[in-house]
Amino acid sequence: MPTPLRRRSTGARTLTTSLALAASLALAAAPVAAAQSTTQPSTQSTSQTDGTIAAGSLGSTAGTPLPASGSLGSLAQPAYADYVALGDSYAAFGDQTELADGATAQACGRSATNYASVLGTNPAVGGLTDATCGGAQIPDLTASQRSGVPPQFDALDSTTDLVTLSIGGNDVGFGTIVGCITKQGPFASVPNCQTAIGTTIAATIAETFGEGGEIDDVYAAIADRAPGATVVATQYLPLMPAEGGSCSFTDQLNPADVQWARGVAEAINDAVDAAARRNGHVSALPTSDVDRSACAPADQRWTDFLGGAPTNAAAFHPTALGQQAMSDAIAAAI
């Protein structure tokens, strides 16, 4: 009997962030997650693709090159017959006016425009089982997240040959980070987030993603259930613009908190990438030489601060354009 993965209570599972800056929004169904990646070669990959480190969810990808074209687009028949997508809201969400079919998909807020759905249309990918779910934490991979939502690992078996994984951001308390930089709830009067929660967040990142930590248990469990699978750890798309960039939303935040949040995102991203490589897999993040942050024009941004029209994204989550870019990065990585 597999050992259940560990759960840490960080306050990140349910978070309502009422943004006096622009709008009130609820993130209870799916707190924000963050990470970053470098595309690295894998012993299980069909091709090797070199990449560059790019800043992640609260950071920026501005000024970094696009990944090289991957192997999938050139294949006439499926290279991966059984694809399973695992993860949290950064994998599950997209255009939230286009939810996937089925009660579980609806309960998880799973968009028909998420990167798994886009990648699943590639002729080099066969059947897709999308088990992603908004708000997921590491233990939800092996235990039911809530009524009607089975453990995500139930989707894996010995025939699974491709897995994408987006997990850990909620475990390290990314919702808490968002609450702090927007000065909500208990953080309303803190002078800066580095002082208030910086040490705790850094320790939790190390515990979750460090060697021998929870994420290593995840990779071991995937190997037990799907021993022949190529695994791609997907990272989280940029919210904040690069240093020096801003927009009306970020202009209303404490500049010190914005700078700290970028650093935290980069630390998470580095840890996620290191964990993927340490376990013999790859990680992927699309990069661009133009701003794709939530400060970018609506038709260019990969994430959205407030959500809703015109992108129809969930607040603080990827847009459909961002999910398309992530799908392309995964294809390049494998």
Would you please indicate which residues are annotated as catalytic (active-site) residues?
89, 317
Which of 235, 37, 5 has its CA nearest to residue 138?
5
DSSP string, 225-260: H-TT-EEEEE-----SPPTT---HHHHTS-HHHHHH
Burial environment of residue 158 by CB neighbours within 10 A (0 to 12, 13 to 18, 19 or more): exposed
Could you give the C-alpha distances from 125 to 71, 77, 84, 92, 204, in angstroms and in order?
11, 8, 11, 18, 35
The structure tokens 């960080």 sit at: 10
Cβ–Cβ under 8 Å, residues 30 and 14: no
Q: Which amino acid is at 73?
A: G
Q: Cα–Cα distance between 133 and 135 in angstroms, integer?
A: 6
- Tally of CB atoms within 10 A around 217: 18
Both tokens of 331, joined, read 């294809």
The percent of the chain in helix, strand and coil, each rounded to the nearest 5, is 35, 15, 55
Both tokens of 124, joined, read 């080099």
Which of 203, 204, 303, 187 has its CA nearest to residue 253?
187
